Structure 1
């Protein structure tokens, strides 16, 4: 069975269903991926992605703005703009992913996100001034922009198992979000403000940029087989048989 959207010259096939069903396929894919360096670099970066989006901004932006005198409805409206602009950012990122090396895209997205978080503490005020609106619009564009290049890299490194591996990478996103949501709340309770949480998240995002750049170091070592680019030792190409002419 060929992959959806495959061309006539694309001999890649979907892996045959394994005995035991989806659970066995998911666990086997995790076991194979966990033995590779790219998996941990992608999962680490995506954990930080979750920490700096759902875990921090999504959970704590409104109470942090309220600490500076902003009305909750105003802060909620700003957060809603993030959701609106992430649609635009995701579509644009998908377009770029088809044209630019995904490693560079991820490095750029995370670096810009980190720099913006380092600036955020100075932007809070009782009103939604232009500088805060600019931050919100940028953060919206960057919010889900990391997904298309991450999906593309999972497919590139892990071949036909890329979709399942991305599921595990996405699990790290939720894990990072949970840790950040809890940690930022503890920081606010102990210090009386969120400043340390914003600065820490900014530093983590810069680290995620570095992890993405580290993927470039192993780029020349990838094998290419019938199942597409990937790490051949961990993910052998699926065998295919020629389809009869229609």
Structure 2
């Protein structure tokens, strides 16, 4: 065992792995930032309607979500390092190829399909899988930090991309994103490791198993998700999920987990709330805030700067949410986050103007703190309710997030084309967020054993 990596004897390798994952998620998030910046330039150059461009965004968002549960299972079979490396290469290719497009179907292929599959393969399930394997202590906190990396990377790129698109054209912005993804590839390949036992250590905070407790033919520690044995986790060396399947068939495992989880009430409450979360963030604000501000006379670089501020405050909000999810009932956190978000969206239409007024800045700060604060408590609930299958279950819950985002991206674009304004989209999203708050708190009304504070169990026992 490598003593320099053990707790109390130096920097634990888990922190290095988490740092590489953060950079990878940050790099891949670059292209996630481009829809809001490029809608107006593409409309001006090609004459495509906002509904047409938004359709490509919707395909991207939907594939980003639907790929996630299969990616979680693929990481079980092929490892995080391979899956994330190939995902980054696919993101770079999809971003780079857009510079030659001249028809909407090419936008759908590059921006929608290729980048959607690439980013979906290293979506939030990557963070959930990594924290399950590498962390027992600080798990919620690290989940919050990695989640913030994705959302913040997406938003902090905006000012740079907006200035590039305005000054040198949208193609320069697309190439910049492709390069950002490629730069991260060597870091992932050489520094990311799939499991603690690959480098002769244990998950941070885990209790190492005595060497005599396992047969000589079995390698690695007992837990495949980085939990102490008392937490009831499954055996990694046995390679079994809670559904009884093995990770050798990624698609079969992902679908099997879905069938089991779909028979439980908490799954639908979590998935429904997270679908609304996607509608109100990536689908609506992330895609249409900049063109909506432009409709009110605000310059695109200024609007992009406002979204970048959302990304900055998102770091604080998401990390704090991760810390809170280790200490506070996650259902109550979700109810508060969704409720406050809904109220802020109901107020947003009255805040737009040609300049960034103080009232808009207050909205930006508040919305930034709440942007993806929902993720750590949602991950925690999936883990607590569905045990060893929690990461794959979260993959499906996250798929609902992106389906909601895809619906909102297209619906908001059509709303703008039809009514000439986005107001109806903002009001509808605000009302849905209030409904999500009720759904989150209603998780407590599940059947006995579905309480998030109950001992970890398998989804098969929840049917």
8 Å CA contact 1:50–1:177 kept in 2: the answer is yes
Q: Distance in 1 between matches of 2:449 and 2:264?
A: 12
Q: Does 1:7 align with 2:228?
A: yes
State how 1:28-107 maps to structure 2 within 5 Å. 28-107=256-335
1:220: how far off? 4.4
Residue 14 of structure 1, CA deviation: 3.7
Quote the residue 2:89 is aligned against. Answer: none
* Counterpart position of 2:349: 121
Q: Provide closer, same or farther for how the CA distance between residues 31 and 193 of structure 1 changes in structure 2, counting only shifts above 3 A.
A: same
State the alpha-carbon separation in 2 of the partners of residues 219 and 48 from structure 1.
24
Residue pair 2:283, 2:406 contacting (<8 A) in 1 also: yes
Compute the displacement of 1:2 (Å): 1.2
Assess if the C-alpha contact under 8 Å between 2:389 and 2:458 holds in 1.
no
1:21 Cα offset (Å): 1.9
TM-superposed deviation, 1:36: 0.9
- Structure 1 position 178 matched with structure 2 position 406: yes
Structure 2 CA distance for partners of 1:10 and 1:102, relative to 1, 3 Å = closer
Is the aligned partner of 1:205 residue 2:433?
yes
What is the rounded CA distance, in whole Å, between the counterparts of 1:182 and 1:33 in structure 2? 29
CA change 1:11–1:194 in 2 (3 A) is closer
Q: Measure the CA separation in 1 of the matches of 2:235 and 2:435.
A: 35
In the alignment, which residue of structure 2 is the partner of 1:149?
Answer: 377
Any conservation in 1 of the 2:225–2:388 contact (CA below 8 Å)? Answer: no
SS of alignment partner, residue 69 of structure 1: coil
Which ranges of structure 2 fall in alignment gaps of 5 or more residues? Answer: 1-221
In the TM superposition, residue 8 of structure 1 has moved relative to its aligned partner by 5.6
CA contact (8 A) 2:233 2:387 kept: no
Structure 1 residue 150: Cα displacement: 0.3
C-alpha distance in 1 between matches for 2:401 and 2:230? 35
Q: The residue matched to 1:152 in structure 2 has which SS?
A: helix
Distance 2:252 2:229 in 1: 31
d(CA) in 2 for partners of 1:4 and 1:181? 35
Instruction: Return the structure number with greater relative CO, CA threshold 8 A, min gap 6.
Output: 1
Which of 147, 168, 180 is 2:396 aligned to? Answer: 168
TM-score scaled by structure 1? 0.89
Contact 2:349–2:423 under 8 Å retained in 1 = yes
Unaligned stretches of 5+ residues in structure 1: 236-246
Q: Which moved more, 1:6-15 or 1:27-36?
A: 6-15
2:337 aligned residue: 109
The answer to whether the 8 Å contact 1:222/1:229 transfers is no
**Structure 2: distance between partners of 1:223 and 1:121:** 38
Cα drift, residue 47 of structure 1: 0.5
Q: Is the 8 A contact 1:14 1:160 kept in 2?
A: no
Which stretches of structure 1, 4 residues or longer, exceed 6 Å deviation after superposition?
none
The 3-state SS of whatever aligns with 1:178 is: helix
Indicate the structure with greater helix content.
2
Q: Secondary structure at the match of 1:127?
A: coil
Supply the distance in 1 between the matched residues of 2:228 and 2:263 (Cα, whole angstroms).
Answer: 31
CA distance in 1, matches of 2:273, 2:306: 26
Q: Aligned Cα RMSD in Å?
A: 2.1
State the distance in 2 between where 1:166 and 1:172 align: 10
DSSP 3-state at the match of 1:189:
helix
